[in-house]
Amino acid sequence: MPRSKADLLQGTLDLLILKALTLGALHGWGISKRIRQMSGEILEVNQGSLYPALHRLEDRGLIAAEWGVSNEGRRAKFYTLTPAGRAQFVEERDNWSLFSAAVQQVLQTG
Amino acid sequence: MRWIERLGRRLRILFRKSRLERDLDDELRAHVEMETEELQRRGMDSARARREALRRFGGVERTKERVRDERGGRMLDDFVQDLRYGVRSLRKSPGFTASALLVLALGIGSAVALFGVVDAVLLEPLPYPAANRLVRVWPARGAERTAFSYPELKDWRDRSSSLVGLGLYSTLPADYVYLGADAPTELATEWVGQDFFRVLGMAPVAGRTLLPEDEANHRLVAVISWGLWQRLFGGDPSVVGRTLEIDYRNFEVVGVMPRGFTFPVDAEVDLWLPITVVPQDDIPTENRGVRFLGAIGRLAPDASVETARQELGGIARSLEGTYPDTNAGVSDALVQPLSENTVGDVRSALFVALGAVGFILLLACANVANLLLARGSSRAREVALRMSLGAPAGRVVRQLLTESVLLAGMGGVLGLGLAWAATAALARGSAGLLPRAGEIGLDGTVVGAALLVTLLAAALAGVLPALRAADVAPADDLREGSRASSTGLKGLRLRRALVAAEVALAVLLLTGAGLLVRSLGALTRVDPGFETEGRIAMTLTLSDQKHPERTEWMGLYHQILDRLAAHPDVVDAGAIRYLPFRGEGESIPVQVPGLYEPAPEAQRYGHLFQISDDLFQALGMRLLRGRVPGPTDGPQDPPVVVVNEAFQREFFHGQDPVGRRFEPGHDARNEIEIVGVVADVHFAGLAEPTEPALYVRNDQNPRIQMSYVVRSSGDPLALVGDMRRIVREVDPDQPITEIVPLAELTSETLARPRFFTALLGGFAALALILAALGVYGVLAYVVRGRAREMGLRIALGASGGLVARRVLLQGMAPVFIGLGAGLVGAAALSRFVESLLFGVTPLDVPTYLAVAAVLASVAAVACLVPAWSASRVDPIESLRAE
């Protein structure tokens, strides 16, 4: 169980949120659930970090929010990716790949 | 554009805060409920599921707070919150708020009002297009400027390339008779040249200005002012081309100038005529020796004041070579920006006054800082509480600063209102005393300055107290707050330093004002050399157009004089060309064979006055030796003069000049005999040294304009009606230029020094009050804070008097420090007022002693009240109060 509580690296939460939203509009609970599922139940997003991050991304214009109704018929705030957010996601994803590949290489060296 | 959207979002956040908070609540609640439902789906009962969902979510309030941080607009949000809090806390202590606002409003108001004056008089460009390219130009003998003759000015105008034009205007006052109104009146007339309007860059509102042909062909044309257009023609647009009969000649009106146009600034001019309409037998304008013209130039695009001076100096030297008879010694040119020339000698006085209000502002800020500090210590518990509840120190400082900004802002608004009233009063009070006084008022620049001053005041007054207040150890302050012990008197040293600074500033202002008061006293004690009491003067110009023969108009002069003398209430009646203190006069070069034969460039001059036989009695001047010219010295007789003591000193090295002769200029055929010596008169002004003067009988050297001076046996003003009647009887078409009691001439010359003395005196009084308030405030606070200690002392047997003495000494300590520092500072700064002083040195010891005495006694009085209340502390009460 300890690995599921692993703290997310600084900045990676934003990237994960953006990725989660590339597949369509989601509310906060849905985002945390999707990240958990996509990480194979390893990454657990702390709500105390999720909501501030959502509002930060909204303030920066990378995501947009709108009230809507969920599949279960519940009123919820749905977040979608803006064009700027999509561009940001592509850029951050590429940076991450480069970064993780580099770290991987360092760790595998002799 | 992104940042604009963001700003928009922040403002929305700010204004829709309650909705946003509700949204956030809903969003988080929805999350918890979804989590609960999910857990229920997995088989938990609803109560457990809800508890588990809440546990997983963590601290809801903390999350909310973090969201608020991330949402943006937090600073703005805090600011508004601080502002609300500030308003609330200011309203809770109305006494503090009112006194701080009053002090700030006084400081800001006086600074802004005076800045309004300085702005209008010194800073705003003159009311002509591209006025910074305008210059005054003079021919010069060495460093001494002189006037132009007309032929000389034409030569400069034609030859100069560093000026795009050289406009001439007559410096002689010319008043043309106008008979079209109910009573004969005079129109203020300025003779000008063809370049005059072009140089100033002013276009007419109707018709045209002057053309070169007008000047060359001696055309009788007139450009009239807006005011005259309204007065005589009711603003009729068809005025151009109409005929205006002035001075018994018909002039064609060719143009109307826009409202407010005049030159020089503040001059009242009704109409402008070409210089060439002046008859040669009036003023021989074609004579190179007759210097009576002023000139304004506009610098060519590539020219500077210095290059223009060099070029014009060359022209002067070339003319000196061509016309040695008239231009000997005139070998240079002086060029000065018109703005400097217009402001003249009030510049230094205004800067001194501006410095004074700067000190007032500092004093006001020190005062408010002191009030804030006092408040800060009594609020120490509140601050400690907020900090112990987790407010970071920076946040507390920001909140306290917001409060001082709020205070200064309200003070600024009040100050602006005060400045508005004060500016109006200053504009009225300085009319005629300051150049461009008519332009004084609050405009955008001044309001901008007010904003700046307000922010400065907020920073000066607020920063130190805010830092000080936030510097608390919560635990200590909370514990100690309940007991107002003497250790609670934190920042007392800072407050004492502020009091010392306030006293020092007050000393600076009091010293400046004191020096001016002493100087004004010295000025009023100057003996002008003539009497003013019971005397009144009437100035008029006889018309040599209506009465072309000299014998004819001289006949009128004698008739008026005789009839005035025959009036039963008139003791003496006389006449003189040029009244004292008016800055007008004419002068002639003097040569005394064997005693004073200077080179042309070292030539000294004597002021020439035409007088009647009884003028000396009428003016109360004292004949020291010899005789006064009389009826035996007629127009055909050899010319004789009376000279003054300065003339005797300057040209006769103190020898008795009576019976001796001198030559006006180098003209040996024109020798003039001196028949008497008269005591000196401070003709140019009370503060001016006496200069050589000669008095000639008007019959021998007649002038059409004379001032008739009568000495009344009663109230001189009661004579005004009869004086007018006498003139009317002699010639019904004769206008009177002016009737003025001589006492008024003296008060006119004292008006400007009085104005500045009153201004600085007012500031000094304000400074004294503010400093006294500061001294009182701190001491009263100390006494309140130490009531327990005082009570204890009294309970232990100290007498009330002893306690009072101790408090008094404590209160006066910073006063003496400030006094010492202030006196040293005043001595150092006093040289800046030196140019405003007369008969007093900047280090005048009596002034400094008086300032020290006044300040010490006012401060002592301010200390007495708290000292008295300290001696009356009831030991039982003060100990029980805990």
Report the pLDDT value the prediction gives residue B660, as an integer from 0 to 100: 92
Report the pLDDT value the prediction gives residue B555, as an integer from 0 to 100: 95
**Chain B partners within 8 Å of A51 (Cβ):** 24, 27-28, 63, 66-67
Report the pLDDT value the prediction gives residue B546, as an integer from 0 to 100: 87
Quote the CA–CA distance of B834 and B349 in Å, as a whole number.
10
Q: Are B23 and A77 in contact (CB < 8 Å)? A: yes
- Among the listed ranges B467-476, B485-494, B752-761, which one has the minimum average pLDDT value? B485-494
In a mutational test of the B interface, the residue from A36, A37, A55 whose CB has the highest number of chain B CBs within 10 Å is A55
The CA distance from A26 to the nearest CA of chain B, in Å, is 12
Is A68 part of the contact surface with chain B (CB cutoff 8 Å)? no
Residue B397 has pLDDT above 70, yes or no: yes
Tokens matching residue B603: 């030539």
ipTM: 0.84
Report the pLDDT value the prediction gives residue B160, as an integer from 0 to 100: 93
Quote the CA–CA distance of B482 and B336 in Å, as a whole number.
71
Residue B481: pLDDT band with limits 50, 70, 90: very low
| Exposure b/e, B646-679, CB count within 10 A at least 16 = b | bbbebbbeeeebbebebbbeeeeeeebebbbbbe
Quote the CA–CA distance of B354 and B118 in Å, as a whole number.
8
- Among the listed ranges B56-65, B83-92, B486-495, which one has the minimum average pLDDT value? B486-495
Highest averaged pLDDT of the listed ranges B28-32, B275-279, B526-530, B584-588: B526-530
- Which residue is listed with tokens 């105008």? B157
Give the DSSP letter string of B301-352.
TT--HHHHHHHHHHHHHHHHHH-HHHHTTEEEEEEEEHHHHHHTTHHHHHHH
**Burial class of residue B261 in the structure, from the number of CB atoms within 10 Å of its CB (0-12 exposed, 13-18 middle, 19+ buried):** buried
Q: How many CB atoms lie within 10 A of CB B302?
A: 8
Q: Are B28 and A51 in contact (CB < 8 Å)? A: yes
The CA distance from B28 to the nearest CA of chain A, in Å, is 8
Instruction: Give the residue from chain A lying closest to B32, CA to CA.
Output: A29
- Among the listed ranges B86-100, B212-226, B383-397, B830-844, which one has the minimum average pLDDT value? B383-397
Report the pLDDT value the prediction gives residue B322, as an integer from 0 to 100: 93
Residue A7 has pLDDT above 80, yes or no: no
Tokens matching residue B141: 């003998």
Using an 8 Å Cβ cutoff, are B623 and B590 in contact? no
Which pLDDT tens digit goes with each residue over B335-385?
Answer: 999 988 887 778 888 888 989 998 998 898 888 888 888 777 767 777 777
Residue B718: pLDDT band with limits 50, 70, 90: very high
Residue B443: pLDDT band with limits 50, 70, 90: confident
Q: Are B2 and A29 in contact (CB < 8 Å)? A: no
Residue B741 has pLDDT above 60, yes or no: yes
Is A99 part of the contact surface with chain B (CB cutoff 8 Å)? no
The CA distance from A18 to the nearest CA of chain B, in Å, is 17
Residue B393 has pLDDT above 90, yes or no: no
**Chain B partners within 8 Å of A71 (Cβ):** none
What 3-state class would DSSP assign to B504? helix
Residues in chain A: 110
The CA distance from A51 to the nearest CA of chain B, in Å, is 6
Using an 8 Å Cβ cutoff, are B454 and B415 in contact? yes
B→A contacts (Cβ < 8 Å), by residue, are 2, 5-6, 9, 23-24, 26-28, 30-31, 33-35, 37, 56-59, 62-63, 66-67, 69-72
**Chain B partners within 8 Å of A55 (Cβ):** 67, 70-71
Q: What type of residue sits at position B132? A: N
Instruction: Give the residue from chain B lying closest to A52, CA to CA.
Output: B67
Q: Are A70 and B34 in contact (CB < 8 Å)? A: yes
Q: Are B56 and A47 in contact (CB < 8 Å)? A: yes
The CA distance from A105 to the nearest CA of chain B, in Å, is 36
Using an 8 Å Cβ cutoff, are B408 and B421 in contact? no
Instruction: Give the residue from chain A lying closest to B70, CA to CA.
Output: A56
Bridge pairing between strands B144-145 and A26-27? unpaired
**Chain A partners within 8 Å of B66 (Cβ):** 48, 51-52
Report the pLDDT value the prediction gives residue B68, as an integer from 0 to 100: 77
Residue B473: pLDDT band with limits 50, 70, 90: low
**Chain B partners within 8 Å of A48 (Cβ):** 57-59, 62-63, 66
Tokens matching residue B530: 């003539």
Which pLDDT tens digit goes with each residue over B485-535?
Answer: 444 455 678 888 888 999 999 999 999 999 999 999 999 999 999 999 999
Residue B26: pLDDT band with limits 50, 70, 90: confident
- Which residue is listed with tokens 């002069």? B557
- Among the listed ranges A74-83, B353-362, B781-790, which one has the minimum average pLDDT value? B781-790
Q: What type of residue sits at position B412? A: G
Average pLDDT, chain B: 86
Quote the CA–CA distance of B224 and B386 in Å, as a whole number.
74
Residue B823 has pLDDT above 70, yes or no: yes
Report the pLDDT value the prediction gives residue A5, as an integer from 0 to 100: 42
Question: Long-range contacts: B465-468, Cβ < 8 Å, 24+?
Answer: B465/B369, B465/B372, B465/B373, B465/B375, B465/B376, B465/B400, B465/B404, B466/B372, B466/B376, B466/B397, B466/B400, B466/B401, B466/B404, B467/B397, B468/B373, B468/B376, B468/B494
Q: What is the pTM for the complete model shown?
A: 0.75
Is A47 part of the contact surface with chain B (CB cutoff 8 Å)? yes
Bridge pairing between strands B271-274 and B185-192? parallel
**Chain A partners within 8 Å of B70 (Cβ):** 52-53, 55-56, 59
Which pLDDT tens digit goes with each residue over B105-119?
Answer: 998 899 889 888 888
